[in-house]
Amino acid sequence: MIGFAYFAFALLNTFDKKNSKMRSKFFKVLIIGLLLAFTGKTYAGTGPADYNKTIRDFIDSHMNSNYKKLDAVMGEDATFKIPRGEVVLIQSKAKLVAQMQQIANVTQNCDAKYEVLAKSDALVIARVDFNYENTIQHNFLILEKNIDKEWKITQVCKVFDDKEVTEPQKVIARN
């Protein structure tokens, strides 16, 4: 880009004084072109749709055991934190992707929805709820924009809430 600007200014200096009108037009077009080029590069891929797509891809990876999508949306050092009693288990991205690869093509029997809890230009906190028959799995996601301006999930905290059973399930057994 800097080489282009240098070339354009060198070309601009070749116009003689008689063509000052042409020189002025060329200079205006050059400035507008440079502004558009820098503006387009600055705002490319930074809209809210990008973090929403990352969240939707996370949901799809969970619902359909799509380990490739999970691998794509997670940051390299991402962790999963899951409470078990008074202990918090921590799983790495690599370990979870490997586990999901072993159970590929399994579809979860649940509904999913998400809500963005907080957001900035570089960080998003969202909650994804997977609603099963007897429990709700809450996933609190931390998304960060990486150096390539891509939204990646860097941390997932999973919390389970059991639902109250209003009617006992009827069990029928045959001999």
- Give the pLDDT score at 42: 43
pLDDT of residue 124: 97
CATH code: domain 48-162 is: 3.10.450.50
| Cross-strand partners of 111 | 131
- Average pLDDT over the chain reads 80
* pLDDT-wise least confident of 24-38, 88-102, 128-142, 144-158: 24-38
Q: Is the pLDDT of residue 107 over 80?
A: yes
Percentage above 90 pLDDT, the chain: 55
- Could you tell me the residue ranges of all domains in the chain? 2-43, 48-162
Per-residue pLDDT tens over the stretch 8-50 = 555 555 555 556 665 666 556 556 655 555 554 444 444 555 8
Tell whether the model's pLDDT for residue 175 goes beyond 90: no
- Average of pLDDT values for 71-93? 94
Which of 132, 69, 56, 140 shows the shortest CA–CA distance to 105? 69
Q: Does the structure show a pLDDT above 80 at 90?
A: yes
pLDDT at 49: 59
Report the pLDDT averaged over residues 102-110. Answer: 87
CB 54 within 8 A of CB 61: no
Determine the number of helices (DSSP H) and then strands (DSSP E) in the chain. 5, 6
Distances (CA, A) of 129 to 18, 89, 140, 175: 70, 20, 9, 40
Residues 121/145, Cβ–Cβ less than 8 Å: yes
Q: Of 30-34, 65-69, 86-90, 109-113, give the lowest mean pLDDT range.
A: 30-34
User: Tell me, what's the pLDDT at 105?
Assistant: 80
